[in-house]
Structure 1
Amino acid sequence: MSHTKQYKFLDLFAGIGGFRIALENLGCHCVFSSEWDKFCQQSYLANFGESPVGDIGKVLTEEVPDHDILTAGFPCQPFSIAGVTKHNALGTKHGFKHPTQGTLFFDIVRILKAKQPRAFLLENVKNLLNHNKGKTFEVIRKTLIQELGYYIHYQVLDAALVLPQHRKRIFIVGFREDLKFEFPTIEPSDITIQDLLEAEVEEKYTLTDHLWTYLQNYAKKHRAKGNGFGYGLVDLAGKTRTLSARYYKDGSEILIPQPGKNPRRLTPRECARLQGFPDDFKIVVSDTRAYGQFGNAVAVPMVELIGRQILQALETPISLTPSPQTDPWV
């Protein structure tokens, strides 16, 4: 994809760099990254040659370089309206006069407000839409639109369209101008979990008799109660459940069948592939840390497809409305 300029972007709550890989694949240039977890920092350094800045809350906005696009896979936290009311009653200062104060989303808001990039791309779990009966997302949406003046688009997309993993996430895209943007229309991929498996796998990834018996008994007990809890034995010609950060505990949500023996966990490399990371991505931490890192990562091909649409919108000199945005939900 050819662009008229090299777009600069921020990689906030960077994890191990899934956003960065996707946008660099599109020719963009990362000018700043932030990630507080020291083990993620190690992985990031090994793969990108730089260690992200730590706690973004301690970074002054004037220390953040100018950029075109802000990206962030921010953690979801409850936003308390009561907290702001309390501050008002006490007469204390609390930054922006809305209930994102004290949350990690607040740091995204203050950087957007100070630097005013042309676009942003945020990612979160699909339940963000319904968190706290929809109040959390309402705060986010109103903040981005009414306070910061961005035109926003959001959609829940399943990574199963591009990878053999069901992983529904909400993506929020914003522009300073009312540009023509559409989320990508994706032709479903026929890639299967079998296509991602390593040819040779160490025996340590095979479940012990004790653990396999425990998982089977656990599933049987819950089936008897009418619950759906249990292990996930993968159809190798299909797609897996969502890879989670807790995969290191027992691997029960995604187990690979093995003829004549107990099933096994995915290897860290297979987890990387399941999230769309390239095979030259260096895994420099323990298996336990790697499982957590890939379980928390973004699906790289999905981010790349959305990023392509963002760049196309930025390069299309069409503004849909010349007047400031009005919020249709007010």
Structure 2
Amino acid sequence: MIRTIDLFAGIGGIRLGFEQAWGKANDQTVFVSEWDKYAKQTYETNFGDTPPVDGDITKISADAIPPFDICLAGFPCQAFSLAGKREGFADDYYGQTRGTLFREVVRICKVHQPKVIFCENVKGLVHHDKGRTLQVIEGAFTEIGYKVFAKVLNSQYFGVPQNRERIYLVCFRNDIAPAEFNWPTGSEPTTKIRDILDPAPIPPKYYLSSVYLETLRRHKERHQSMGHGFGYEVRDLDGIAGTIMVGGMGRERNLIIDHRPHSTTPTTHIKGSINSEDIRKMTPREWARLQGFPDDYRLEQADTHLYKQLGNSVSVPVIRAIASQIKEVIDK
């Protein structure tokens, strides 16, 4: 039995990947922390409330956390994201410095000395502050007794149709650390957007209004005239999606044309009519499939919350592949 803790847990994507790799019966989560109340609700809907999801990790003593073998930590990435201001350690969000929250992982693991620390973050962390930010983070884990392996992997090579590059850190305690860590390589992409679509008919609320579509077109033309690449994008159903973004942004960067029969009668208040070109945004369930969540993973909140949660989450198949390689080291 491997005991894990799930810090900055979101909706549990990292935990799910580890459970899939290790076998749910062999993976016991003994502590969970997530401060977003809506993410907590989705987490508990799918994993139950044992252990309960604790809130602000900065207010929890390391001694209050049960002993554990693996620390899972998707610490906040907005401070390093190319889509954000990239303020790093100086980032401030409602009084909380998100860029320094990795230190909470260090604080807890320094006391408990688990076998493995696993972290996920945006690719922007690699080059943030000319690489110095990543050096600080790796150095902190090294200082408390860990050998750090880091790698950028792209989700599209692990069975999901999404171009999503993320950096993963696997830190082994020095006494069990291997000389090298065999990162999974994945395989050539075969899954396409077409493969993850919901069955028709898609509710009309997901189809853009004619007025909003025209607004998006004018916005894109305005930026193109200035030499920018901003604006909406319609994806090829036989291609892959762009990165679904932190905070749920990017819905307009992953529009699709879906000609299958559907109602053209609006069910929400919109300006104009439903567009005649059959352009729509993807549904939350389709976003979940872009992240590799199984269809029995329950999505029971309003779309606004679900888009945010899924955009902030991880690609489960990538986590599963890395967790399988970690298991090989631990088994040896």
TM-score (norm 2): 0.84
Residue 267 (str. 1) matches residue 253 (str. 2): no
SS of the equivalent of 1:252 reads helix
Per-residue deviation at 1:67? 1.1
Residue 118 (str. 1) matches residue 128 (str. 2): no
Residues 74 and 122, structure 1, Cα contact 8 Å, conserved in 2: yes
Q: How does 1:9-158 map to 2 (within 5 A)?
A: 9-25=4-20, 26-27=22-23, 28-50=27-49, 51-76=52-77, 77=79, 78-79=88-89, 103-145=100-142, 147-158=143-154
**Which digits, 9 at most, give the CA deviation of each residue in 1:219-267, with x for residues without a partner?**
112222221112121111110100013446x721100113352411111
SS of the equivalent of 1:45 reads helix
Q: Determine the C-alpha separation between the residues in 1 that align with 2:177 and 2:326.
A: 12
**Which residue does 1:307 correspond to in 2?**
323
**Which residue does 2:184 correspond to in 1?**
184
Q: Determine the C-alpha separation between the residues in 1 that align with 2:53 and 2:130.
A: 34
| Matching residue's letter, 1:108 | V
**Which residue does 2:228 correspond to in 1?**
227
Structure 1 pair 132/109, CA: closer, same or farther in 2 (3 Å)? Answer: same
| Matching residue's letter, 1:104 | L
Structure 1 pair 300/101, CA: closer, same or farther in 2 (3 Å)? Answer: closer
Gaps of 5+ in 2: 80-87, 91-96, 260-275
TM-score (norm 1): 0.84
Q: Percentage identity across aligned positions?
A: 41
Q: Determine the C-alpha separation between the residues in 1 that align with 2:61 and 2:29.
A: 18
